Amino acid sequence: MAYTYTVQYTNRGIPTGLLRSDGACVPNAPANSDYQAAIKEYPELVEALATPIAPTERRARTLLAIYNDLNALSGAQKTAIWNDLTSGNPVKLSTNIGPAADGIFLIWRTAVNTTTAFTADMKLTAATFYTRDNPNYLVNPSFDPSINIPGDELVP
């Protein structure tokens, strides 16, 4: 029976073996008889199994990197983010359950009850924490698709 094969990769882009059309996994191991049969039938698989692809594993960005990206936005964009984060009933910020939820809640309550210049920084800090907990929140959001600030990044 002739099989077709698909190269399988780790989330870091390293080839691990082949997925055969019958569902069997063939490890990337030259001593394996199934591996030898696949290579004999499809010699181009040797190169494919030796070539990593772009990694897909992601990690959280530093809070400072996210904050700096937020701070570089226009005033209108910052206002749009804050308006989105404080929209809804209950308010979007108050529904976050990520690791920074406690800090976000405290900052949100401080920002809405303070009338000083301190408030603007608190708003950015809350948005920073929220973005790190929700990595795709500011990747082309519906309220301003020109914003592209991910809360995570590819692992190098």
84-114 residue pLDDT tens: 999 999 989 888 888 888 888 888 888 887 7
Peptide bond just before 43 cis, omega within 30 deg: no
150 within 8 A of 139, measured Cβ to Cβ:
yes
pLDDT at 74: 96
**Tokens 């990595």 sit on residue:** 135
* Structure confidence by residue, pLDDT tens digits, 106-116: 888 888 877 77
> Residue 1 — pLDDT band, cuts 50, 70, 90?
low
In our burial notation (b when 16+ CB lie closer than 10 A, e otherwise), range 11-35 reads eeeebebbbbeeeeebebeeeeebb
pTM for the whole thing? 0.57
Instruction: Please state the rounded mean pLDDT for residues 136-152.
Output: 94
Token pair, residue 48, equals 């494919």
